Amino acid sequence: MNEPANKELVVEMRGIKKHFAAVQALRGVDLALHRHEVLGLMGDNAAGKSTLMKVLSGAYTPSEGGIFINGEGVHFSSPMDARRMGIEMVYQDYALSNNLDVAGNVFMGREVVQFKLGPFGVMDYAHMELETKKLLNRLKIDIPSVRQKVERLSGGQRQAVAIARATAFDAKVIIMDEPTAALSVAAIDKVIDLIRQLKAQGSSVIIISHRLEDIYRVADRMIVLRQGRKVCDTPVEGDIHEFRERVVAYMVGARDDFAETAVQQSQEA
């Protein structure tokens, strides 16, 4: 499960702070993500997990701190900016259009135009269907037809389509928000297998999840946030019982690997 050190650094977030009026959602969080790595991001409700990932995906602009992609500083003013840099986020509600088929959802917002007639364009459905089939085959996603309406798919299949869409355009980093929530055991297993496929094919994945077992099964490393601060950044190791006890201890404040640094920052502020 754990990966060797000295891997290629893909994303680095340094000292990220985010304020919403008087509410301090993030208090100087650092995060590093390497190529071929699955990172589990955990914490209780309002710990700052989703806020941090919305900063990385361009939905939020940080109040302070910087984001670096392949060592170069970047500034995202919108999710489209993050997409251009190869960062995609799969939200918990999948953000799919039920009235479109699988191919239509994969290419939604990025439709391929065959030719234009003045201000109007004719979409190349054949090309989009072919590319969607290739994508599903590459990721070993079992869906009978790319022409099937998304509303007729199971929860696990819908999650797979959302993940496929995120990887369709050379995404380097895929962020998944609670990817196994409300899924059956069989569907969870398929999503875990899909995450392993993404890693094997060179993608880096960040998973936000309350399901500790899923993080244990698939993540190489975990970060735990508490009240907007990083309290843990460590490889996933040990047996499941030890892992669960460690994570809970970090979440409730019984353990804090960065407590001394936090006190120093508070005094300096």
Query: Residue 237: which CATH number?
Result: 3.40.50.300
Distance CA 62, CA 82 (A): 14
245 occurs within a structural domain:
yes
84-133 confidence digits (pLDDT tens) = 999 999 987 778 999 999 999 999 888 888 877 777 778 899 999 999 99
Distance CA 239, CA 56 (A): 31
17 occurs within a structural domain:
yes
164-193 confidence digits (pLDDT tens) = 998 888 889 999 999 988 788 888 999 999
Order across the sheet with 87-90: list the strands: 87-90, 173-177, 204-208, 38-42, 221-226, 229-235
144 occurs within a structural domain:
no
Compute the average pLDDT of residues 196-207.
93
Place of tokens 């077992």: 213
* pLDDT confidence of residue 5: 44
Q: Where are the beta strands (DSSP E) in 43-145?
A: 64-69, 72-74, 87-90, 113-117, 120-123
Q: Which two tokens stand for residue 248?
A: 């809970």
82 occurs within a structural domain:
yes
For residue 18, the enclosing domain spans 9-97+171-268
User: Which of 54, 58, 61, 56 shows the shortest CA–CA distance to 91?
Assistant: 54
pLDDT at 257 over 70: yes
244 occurs within a structural domain:
yes
139 occurs within a structural domain:
no
Count: domains in the chain: 1
160 occurs within a structural domain:
no
Higher pLDDT, 7 or 139: 139
4-53 confidence digits (pLDDT tens) = 444 799 999 999 999 999 999 999 999 999 999 999 999 999 999 999 99
157 occurs within a structural domain:
no
Place of tokens 């939020």: 60
Sequence-distant (6+) residues with CB within 8 A of 243 are 212, 216, 236, 237
